[in-house]
Structure 1
Amino acid sequence: MLWDVDADGGIGWITLHRPEVRNALNAEMLDALQSALKEAQAREDIRTVVLRGEGSAFCAGGDLKEIQTLGPFGVRRLLNEKIRPLLRSLMLLDKPVIAALNGPVAGAGIGLALACDVVLAAKEATLITAFGKVGAMPDAAMIYFLVQHIGLKQAMELILRGEPLSAEAAHALGLYTRVVEREALEALTLEWARDLARGPTLAYAMAKRAARDAVRLPFDAFMDLESASQALLHFSADHQEGIAAFLAKRPPQFQGK
């Protein structure tokens, strides 16, 4: 895995870097991903994070050669002690997270992508859910994300049949945010990352948490969360700057505070 920070632009770039195995996830890469996200959370100069793949694929899923050496209890520990915390870190990072899918995404890689806030995809970014082809069930929270995003019946079709889903079809279902030609993906990703890094980071963080909680909270509990969050934001430096910029008819200069 490669980790690079554009401090001036406020962007943290995470690159899955095992192109010889289509960026399959092994324990070392999972640990490195978690470490990068922990650093991104702690650093004020990082205002958005981009997760991308090296080579022809975004991620082929888990490294099957390594997984086959673990045994049942080892697989359970892998999912509970590495995959689960990593997905939580992606979902709960107090900054926007963009997945830039340069090519096919399969298996656990789908969980990584769908845990991000925005999914920008090249037309080659086929979504492959074929766990059933190897006698396994989807993991890395893929079932959880699919049911949330597209509903039970659509999710069951992908889970049970395991047919690849084109990038355009994934976009139509609401799994991908945007789909572009592969040569346009880098520019689109940079545009989104720069735009989000200039935004009101604290407001983004609270909106992210509210959006995640909206699917599980009763209405009144959600409104309690919304009202408390909005009240706090009204005392933030970014809100004061936003109001001042609006009244002065100028672009705001947010600091993420």
Structure 2
Amino acid sequence: MSVLIATYENNIAYLTLNRPEKFNSFNKEMAIALQQELDKCMNDDDVRAIYLTGSGKAFCAGQDLAEAVDPDGPELQSIVHDHYNPIIERLRRIEKPVIAAVNGVAAGAGANIALACDIVVAKESASFIQAFSKIGLIPDSGGTFFLPRLIGFQKASALMMLGDKVSAAEASQMGMIYKYFSDDAFEAESKKIAETLAKLPTKALGYTKVALNQSLHNNLTQQLQIEEDYQTLSGKTADFNEGIAAFLEKRPAVFKGK
């Protein structure tokens, strides 16, 4: 059984973490498989949106602790450096929208991988847990970077130290995620977002992502320059010409991602 299921349809890469018996907790095999699939998506011009979810009842329960304590397994430093950090770097570097469709519990690294994506939606019954303090560790996988920026320093500090379980409704209310859907509507509604993204001007979405990444450390003057530079690049795309033509002709635009 493959630990990662990848299917490609209508310009969308559907990536499903697939260790349901372990609540899709990461081992080395699944981490490397996800890195490789994200590389494939990055280099495939036909892929215009990426949809990341989990199989079974969970999105991802974080690290498979059996591997972490195995004397023959990778050391903790290697797990962070070789498994998780490259995943987070890829999620942010890939100039295409990535939607995390959180279908169940997202704990530890699983929660923070979701939060590193561009748009996070969740099933109403899903939950998010910064579980690290429960086992004497600190949040990794970009958690200390993204969570304070999403919900504020004080709230992030409390969730990380106390390890509270956050419901999908609470996560949406505090700005941790974009929105949540009822369990019955979740799959259709989350895939509808991916389908919408795949039909938008991919270059502009990618440049938007670059600008957002830069905003995390730029001052205003630097960010205005980034906007100027990438607006200029956007204006040279075929999709910009199509968008203008469609507006003037009062018709829906048909973007090609070029």
Q: TM-score, normalised by structure 1?
A: 0.96
Question: What percentage of residue pairs aligned between the two structures are identical?
Answer: 38
Q: 1:72 deviation in Å?
A: 11
Q: Which residue of 2 aligns with 1:174?
A: 175
Which of these residues, 5, 8, 11, is aligned with residue 8 of structure 2?
5
Contact 2:68 2:74 in 1 (8 A): no
Do 2:23 and 2:61's aligned partners in 1 also have CA atoms closer than 8 Å?
yes
Query: TM-score scaled to structure 2, two decimals?
Result: 0.96
Q: Map of 1:1-257 to 2, 5 A cutoff?
A: 1-6=4-9, 9-69=10-70, 74-257=75-258
* 1:206-239: CA deviation from partner (whole Å, max 9, x where unpaired): 0011112212101111111110110111111000
Q: Which amino acid aligns with 2:60?
A: C
3-state DSSP class of the match of 1:3?
strand
Checking the alignment, whether the CA contact within 8 Å between 2:67 and 2:73 is kept in structure 1 is: no
Question: Higher helix proportion, which one?
Answer: 1
Query: What SS is found at the alignment partner of 1:183?
Result: coil
Q: Which moved more, 1:73-82 or 1:54-63?
A: 73-82
2: distance between equivalents of 1:129 and 1:236?
41
**Structure 2 segments unaligned to the other structure (5+ residues):** none
* SS of 2:165 mapped into structure 1: coil
Distance 1:256 1:228, change over 3 A: same
User: Match of 1:51, SS?
Assistant: strand
How far is 1:73 from its partner?
Answer: 8.1
**Whole-angstrom CA distance in 2 between matches of 1:86 and 1:78:** 11
Unaligned runs of 5+ in 1: none
What is the letter of the counterpart of residue 227 of structure 2? E
User: 1:82 Cα shift?
Assistant: 2.1
**1:124 partner amino acid:** S
Q: How has the CA–CA distance of structure 1 residues 70 and 203 changed in structure 2, closer, same or farther, with 3 Å as cutoff?
A: farther
Q: Tell me the CA shift for residue 151 of structure 1.
A: 1.6
Q: Secondary structure at the match of 2:81?
A: helix
CA distance in 2, matches of 1:166, 1:70: 35
Q: CA RMSD in A?
A: 1.4
How many angstroms apart in 2 are the aligned matches of 1:131 and 1:219? 35
Secondary structure of the corresponding residue to residue 175 of structure 1: coil
